[in-house]
Amino acid sequence: MGLGFTIIPKYLDVILLGCAWTIGITLAAAILSFIGGILFAVIALYAPWLIRQPFRLIEWLFMGTPLLLQLFLIYFGLVQIGIDLPAFVAGIIGLGLHFAVYNSELIQTAILSVDKGQMEAARTLGLSRTEALRKVVVPQAVRAVIPPIGNNMIALLKDSALVSVIGVSELTLSAQRVIGRTYRPFEFYLMAAACYYVINLAMEWLQRKIERRISISR
pLDDT at residue 202 greater than cutoff 80: yes
Q: What pLDDT shows up at residue 50?
A: 87
Please tell me the distance from the alpha carbon of residue 175 to that of residue 18, in angstroms, as a whole number: 8
Please state the rounded mean pLDDT for residues 98-116.
Answer: 92
Count of CB atoms within 10 A of residue 82's CB? 6
Q: What pLDDT shows up at residue 128?
A: 85
pLDDT at residue 56 greater than cutoff 90: no
Q: What pLDDT shows up at residue 218?
A: 59
Integer angstrom CA distances of residue 95 from 34, 47, 50, 112, 131: 11, 25, 26, 26, 30
Computed over every residue of the chain, the mean pLDDT equals 91
Please state the rounded mean pLDDT for residues 117-130.
Answer: 84
Secondary-structure class of domain 5-213 per CATH: mainly alpha
- Count H helices and E strands in the chain, helices first: 10, 0
pLDDT at residue 76 greater than cutoff 90: yes
